[in-house]
Amino acid sequence: MKIMTALRLTGMTLGISLTAALCLSASAMAKGTGYIFVSNEKTNNIIVLESKTLKLVKDLKTSRRPRDMHFSDDHTKLYVACGDDDVIDIIDVAKLEVIGKIATGSSPEAFMVDEQKRRIYVSNEEGSSMSIIDMDQQITLAEVPTGAEPEGVWLAPDRKTVYVTSEVGDLIHHIDLEAGHVIEDVVVGTRPRRFAATPDGNELWVTTELSGEVWIIDRGPFKVLGKIEFFPPGMRKTDVTPVGITMTSDGKTAYVTLGHAAHVAVVDVPSKKTLSYILVGKRSWGITLSKDEKTLYVANGLGDDITVIDVASRKAVTSVPVGRIPYSVVIDE
């Protein structure tokens, strides 16, 4: 296995990050602001909304093509992968400012943060690889080859294993972090995109966009357990293009965005049955549950808005215009 063992260091970002780290210690105890963050691929910004009123707090400029976002464990920082500048921007949540950048591979899309090990695992869409980044030194420790167009990244609770989808390869890669390469693959439906996992971490749920399914994978032994198809009312099977997925903390309910079918599917996890469909906007992708699990937020990529859903009544409450091509929604709470 030929791994990119070359350590890459960007002098520019190192300086910024050290300063940033010092400044941040003071605000490290910040409480949740309740702000909603929506990344917008085409307008190179994050729209920050107040969660109660849904009013605009800030139009936060980022590097180009912001996509996947994750908070640091203490929520003082928000990381956002910016695909057209090959960086992950670091945002100070209290100041709502970009305070640093971490270089990635070509066109970073999705990532996971391991704060204990101080690592970021990021899929590089154009690079057909996953970068392992040291957060403190801000250097790429390794670039693990994957199938073409890698997207979803999921870090196992043992922090020794990462799973990555390859949209073109129709594969889920099992990457052993100690070995530093893919050790096995499992074949799923067409164009696998993103992950959710059951709370025990045993089952991985993967959306397969073009075959219109969610595939369920047993992590040990690494094999396919089954798949779920979707039939939202009034929609053709071919419109069903699932991308986003999230699960409640009790592992009982999963919510899946169905892309061009403009619905969110509500799935009972134990029985793997779809309970209902909620109408949302055009090409729904990113989906996030509020901490109390009472509200769902869905990014409508071709509607330039987000849909806010009341979980209890399974109804869309309102939609809010954001930037162009919204990708992901996260909430600071």
Partner 1 sequence: MNELIRPYVLLFALCCVSQTALAQLQAVTPTAATQTDKKIPIGFLELKTDSRYEPVRAYERLILKKPEHPFPGAQVGIEDAKSQQRAIGAEITLERMTAATAQDAPALLKAAIERGMNYVLLDVPSDTYKSLVEIAKGRDVILFNVSVPEDILRRDVCARELVHVFPSQAQMSDALVQFLVSKKWRDYLVLQGPDPYDDLITKAFTKSAQKFGARIVANQRFQPGTDPRQREKNNPALLSAINKDWDVTFIADKAFEFARQVPFQTVKPRPVVGAIGLETVAWHWTWEHNGAAQVNSRFSRYAPNRKMEGADWAAWMAVKMVATSALRSRSTEFKPIRDFMMGPGTFDADKGLAVSVRAWDHQLRQAVLLAGDYYVSASAPLEGFLHRTNELDSLGDDETDTPCHLNR
Q: Which is nearer to partner 1, 127 or 196 (CB)?
A: 127
Whole-number minimum distance, CB 92 to partner 1, in Å?
Answer: 22
CB pairs under 8 A, 24+ apart, for 307-316?
Answer: 307/280, 307/281, 308/54, 309/264, 309/278, 309/280, 314/266, 314/276, 314/278, 315/278, 316/278, 316/279, 316/280
Whole-number minimum distance, CB 83 to partner 1, in Å?
Answer: 10
Distances from the Cα of 307 to the Cαs of 68, 153, 245, 247, 319, in angstroms? Answer: 18, 25, 15, 18, 4
Q: How far apart are the first and last CA of the chain?
A: 42
Q: Which is nearer to partner 1, 170 or 305 (CB)?
A: 170
Whole-number minimum distance, CB 209 to partner 1, in Å?
Answer: 9
Contact predicate 79/92, CB 8 Å: no
- The answer for residues whose C-beta is within 8 angstroms of residue 236's C-beta and 6 or more apart is none
**3-state secondary structure string, 108-149?**
EEEEEEECCCCEEEEEECCCCEEEEEECCCCEEEEEEECCCC
Query: What number of other Cβ atoms are within 10 A of residue 209's Cβ?
Result: 23
Nearest residue to 44 (alpha-carbon basis) of 23, 24, 61: 61
- Which parts of this chain interact with partner 1 (CB under 8 A)? 1-2, 4-12, 86, 103, 105-106, 125-129, 143, 145-149, 166-171, 173, 181-187, 190-191, 210-211, 236, 238
Q: Which is nearer to partner 1, 173 or 227 (CB)?
A: 173
Whole-number minimum distance, CB 286 to partner 1, in Å?
Answer: 17
Whole-number minimum distance, CB 73 to partner 1, in Å?
Answer: 28
Measured distance CA(270)–CA(97) in Å, rounded: 42
Q: What would the two tokens of residue 141 be?
A: 């420790």
Q: Which is nearer to partner 1, 12 or 28 (CB)?
A: 12
Q: Which is nearer to partner 1, 286 or 288 (CB)?
A: 286
Whole-number minimum distance, CB 40 to partner 1, in Å?
Answer: 16
Q: Which is nearer to partner 1, 139 or 308 (CB)?
A: 139
Cα-flanking dihedrals φ and ψ of residue 101, to 5°? -140, 140
Nearest residue to 266 (alpha-carbon basis) of 243, 257, 285, 275: 275
Measured distance CA(166)–CA(189) in Å, rounded: 11
Whole-number minimum distance, CB 71 to partner 1, in Å?
Answer: 26
Measured distance CA(132)–CA(108) in Å, rounded: 12
Whole-number minimum distance, CB 183 to partner 1, in Å?
Answer: 8
Q: Which is nearer to partner 1, 109 or 332 (CB)?
A: 109
Measured distance CA(292)–CA(313) in Å, rounded: 15
Q: Which is nearer to partner 1, 247 or 262 (CB)?
A: 262
